[in-house]
Amino acid sequence: MVTIGAIIYEPGSTVRNKTGGWRTFRPILNTERCIKCELCYIFCPEGAIYEDEEEKFRINYDYCKGCLICSKECPTNAITNVREENYRRYCEIEGELREGSSEIDRYRKYYHRYNTLLGVKRELEK
């Protein structure tokens, strides 16, 4: 049953409806920075965050709507927000940085600033 008229009868309705395709932002979880406090897991309204067999938290993107509550609740900033349309390029650059460089945190800061500035620019152009 699909929810009608934006009325949510119970939390976690995407588990039945796979609404992950609606995302504007994709949360990316850095398991190296994760301290397993479970705040992302607890606050995710859709139940899209789970612990795998290696006891690492993962995000099921079939059900993640990209609300970014998980990243706001994370005390170690282990969850990065990437615009969905920029995700492929983000993975390419992150892969390059992981191969031979320790500059991944610097890139993440730059990427966040770039998205913020791009958002401000779009607002000013309206």
Global model pTM greater than 0.85? no
Q: What is the average pLDDT across 108-123?
A: 62
Separation between Cα atoms, residue 53 and residue 101, nearest integer Å: 29
Which long-range contacts (C-beta less than 8 Å, at least 24 apart) are formed by 103-109? 108/80
Query: In terms of Cα–Cα distance, which of 105, 30, 15, 110 is closest to 71?
Result: 30
pLDDT of residue 100: 46
Q: Dihedral through CA 39, CA 73, CA 81, CA 121, nearest 10?
A: 170
At 97-111, the pLDDT tens digits run: 454 444 455 555 555
Separation between Cα atoms, residue 81 and residue 73, nearest integer Å: 13
pLDDT of residue 2: 52
- What single letter denotes the amino acid at residue 103? E
At 41-91, the pLDDT tens digits run: 999 988 889 999 999 999 998 888 888 999 999 999 999 888 877 776 766
**DSSP letter string, 72-85:** HH-TT--EEEEEGG
Domains of the chain: 14-125 (3.30.70.20)
Separation between Cα atoms, residue 113 and residue 118, nearest integer Å: 8
Report the run of H or E that residue 43 belongs to, with start and end: helix 39-43
pLDDT of residue 101: 47
